[in-house]
Amino acid sequence: MASLDIRSLLVFSAIFRVILIVYGEWQDAHMEVRYTDVDYLVFSDAAALMAVGDSPYKRTTYRYSPLLAFLLIPNSYIHRSWGKFLFSASDILVGYFIYYILKLRKVPENMCNYSVMAWLFNPFTFTIGTRGNCEPIVCALILWIVICLLKGNVLQSAFWYGLVVHFRIYPIIYSIPIILVLDPNFFPSDQKPVLRNWSAVKGERPKARSGWHNLHYLFKSIFTWNRLIFGLVSGLVFLFCTGLFYCLYEWEFLHEAMLYHLTRTDPRHNFSIYFYHIYLHYGHDTSVVEKLISFLPQFLVQLVLIFCFAQDLPFCIFVQTVAFVAFNKVITAQYFVWFFCLLPLILPWSKMKLRWDGLSCILLWIGAQTHWLMWGYLLEFKGKNVFLQLWAASLLFLAANIYILVMIIRNHKYASVFKALEYANSKKAAKLEIVGNRAVAEYIISSRITEIQILRVKKLIGSMAKTCISNPFRLQFHTAATFS
């Protein structure tokens, strides 16, 4: 791996994705099964409408921000695959951001490269962008927000967070852990936060804090400068984008791009355990109690994960995303990319070995998904009545996700991303004290001192022994003639 650096990985990945895009064009033209995602056709049609001044929402099933259609306007003027190249470039950018985040935390080079490869050469990820799905853009924005937070740029992170929540509503679940990590002990108003390096936490386990302690502390010190800035700026950016497009496209935009995703009930089969219930009751009025019951498990799991792991921000948002997808009312394959982009950020802190635990988790997840796809194929293409079996396969897939999530949590080496202010200040003070004492000792040794002054030096060394270490410079006391 030493001979294959990050630049080689990114270049090879880019070439590989270009080949897949070209192959996709050929398959679309010569084969019955298309390579291009059907959503990409929706994006392109909406962009074509926007290019001539019409509303993108005249294209049925376009349920995204107008920003996406705007980005794909060159599809109508340059080439229909423009969007695929844009999404694949975002895919490559995600790989670089993963590398950059790990290097910020002083992860060794070989571990960084392996972690980046877990994203760049994952079949789920390199096909999602080349088939024309927009999720890599969202993944890149989320990782950029993490980078801004790690570097202490709260204002930048707030701007991009407001934008990404407008672009794709699901990152709203990261708001509480971000607010929690903007702790005044980590983010003092007068200085940058201090990152905890990978080597510093190797084999360590931070002090455990209960969720109730975190909750109490949050309400006690919630109104800090950084938290107010983050909340205010991100909220204003979100409201500005939403208000702007509401003025342009009115209720149609608000319903299709925002409210639809909050109230979505898809009667078509998908990985969610709720699909069968939705299918049986589709078209009937659903009571508020039923809606709350389906939402409650997801909400409770999110709260538990947030208040247990918020200090380890990358790990927290990873387990949050896995749980959010697993318990969601609608699950499609593109949702898996949401947590695949975060998985490489936690790999260097995992005690799980690829052989056997890691491999067994991978095979279990693929096996549960393949089992579901088998029943989905019989229903979709063969027209067989296997709804009950498909629902049982969804239950099995949920169980597999929960088991893997528990395994990941148990094998993770918990590490606060930032050093607490008290810890950082004490280390800095100790360092300054040692450097200061060394300077005093070197000055004394290099000076011509008398025998009386030696007594003062002995007192100095005595005070140093109490505050630092015993006679740290191994000074030998002789007569004044010796020093002269």
Q: CA-CA distance, 148 to 132, in Å (whole number)?
A: 28
> Quick check: 438 pLDDT over 80?
no
Assign residue 344 a region (left: φ > 0; alpha: ψ between -120 and 50; beta: otherwise): alpha
Maximum C-alpha span of the chain: 105
Q: Helix, strand, or coil here: 311?
A: coil
Band the pLDDT of 464: cuts 50, 70, 90: low
> Quick check: 114 pLDDT over 70?
yes
Closest among 63, 43, 40 to 254, alpha carbons compared: 63
> Quick check: 191 pLDDT over 60?
yes
Q: What is the rounded average pLDDT of the residues 408-437? A: 66
> Quick check: 339 pLDDT over 70?
yes
In our burial notation (b when 16+ CB lie closer than 10 A, e otherwise), range 263-299 reads eebbeebbbbbbbbbbbeeeeeeeeeeeeeebeeebe
Q: CA-CA distance, 318 to 134, in Å (whole number)?
A: 20
Q: CA-CA distance, 474 to 484, in Å (whole number)?
A: 19
Q: CA-CA distance, 341 to 335, in Å (whole number)?
A: 11
What mean pLDDT is reported for the chain? 83
Q: Among 11-15, 283-287, 387-391, 462-466, which is the least confidently predicted range?
A: 462-466
Q: Helix, strand, or coil here: 105?
A: coil
Positive or negative torsion for Cα 108, 114, 116, 118: negative
Q: What is the rounded average pLDDT of the residues 295-321? A: 92
3-state percent helix, strand, coil for the chain, nearest multiple of 5:
70, 0, 30
Q: Helix, strand, or coil here: 469?
A: coil
Q: CA-CA distance, 2 to 178, in Å (whole number)?
A: 35
Residue 195 β-bridge partners: 418
Q: What is the pLDDT of residue 148?
A: 96
Q: What is the pLDDT of residue 458?
A: 58
Q: What is the pLDDT of residue 288?
A: 63
Share of the chain above pLDDT 70, in %: 78
pTM of the model as a whole: 0.83
Q: Is the peptide bond before 356 cis (omega within 30 degrees of 0)?
A: yes
Q: What is the rounded average pLDDT of the residues 259-284? A: 75
Quick one: three-class SS letters along 126-143? HHHHHCCCCHHHHHHHHH
Q: What is the pLDDT of residue 265?
A: 66
Q: Helix, strand, or coil here: 348?
A: helix
Count of beta carbons in the 10 Å neighbourhood of residue 342: 23
Q: CA-CA distance, 144 to 260, in Å (whole number)?
A: 27
> Are 147 and 359 within 8 A, CB to CB?
no
Q: What is the rounded average pLDDT of the residues 453-478? A: 51
Q: What is the rounded average pLDDT of the residues 364-391? A: 90
Secondary structure element (H or E) that encloses residue 11, with its range: helix 6-30
Band the pLDDT of 422: cuts 50, 70, 90: low
Q: What is the pLDDT of residue 196?
A: 86
Higher-scoring residue by pLDDT: 91, 192: 91
Closest among 132, 481, 176 to 320, alpha carbons compared: 176
Q: What is the CA radius of gyration of the chain?
A: 28
- Return the structure tokens found at 372: 């579901």
Digit-coded pLDDT (tens) for 214-261: 556 556 667 788 899 999 999 999 999 999 999 999 888 888 888 777
Higher-scoring residue by pLDDT: 78, 295: 78
Band the pLDDT of 195: cuts 50, 70, 90: confident
Q: What is the rounded average pLDDT of the residues 363-387? A: 90
Q: What is the rounded average pLDDT of the residues 339-352? A: 94
Contacts of 229 (CB under 8 A, 6+ apart): 154, 155, 158
Q: What is the pLDDT of residue 461?
A: 56
> Are 180 and 214 within 8 A, CB to CB?
yes
